[in-house]
Amino acid sequence: MIRAINTDVVPAVSKMTDIDADEVWTAFSAGKHFRYLAIHEFAAQLCPPKVQACCALHALTGCDTASFFSGRGKKTAWNAWNVSDQITDVLADLSSILE
């Protein structure tokens, strides 16, 4: 269980292939809203190279310090990544450096 005050669960998703756990959950709250997010389900929806590359994408899109990347939102960066798979290897290499 990970306790978070924001929705940035990407670092946890990127580590799912490295830990020996069937399930990882995050307890997320913002204001009056509280919910549990299943990290393992997010990771299961991605191919292993994208799971590994998530950490670099997270860093490039601003992490917790900014809400956008070069005038574009994180969702736009995510959508661009889904259209162009060539960047996955580059992001995976960057993620390995960030560890």
Print the SS3 string covering the chain.
Answer: CEEECCCCCHHHHHCCCCCCCCCCEEEEEECCEEEEEEHHHHHHCCCHHHHHHHHHHHHHCCCCCCCEECCEEHHHHHHHHHHCCCHHHHHHHHHHHHC
Q: Look at residue 69 in the predicted model and tell me its pLDDT.
A: 58
Give the model confidence (pLDDT) of 8-41 as tens digits: 677 777 777 777 788 888 887 777 778 888 888 8
Give the model confidence (pLDDT) of 63-90 as tens digits: 655 555 566 667 777 788 888 778 888 8
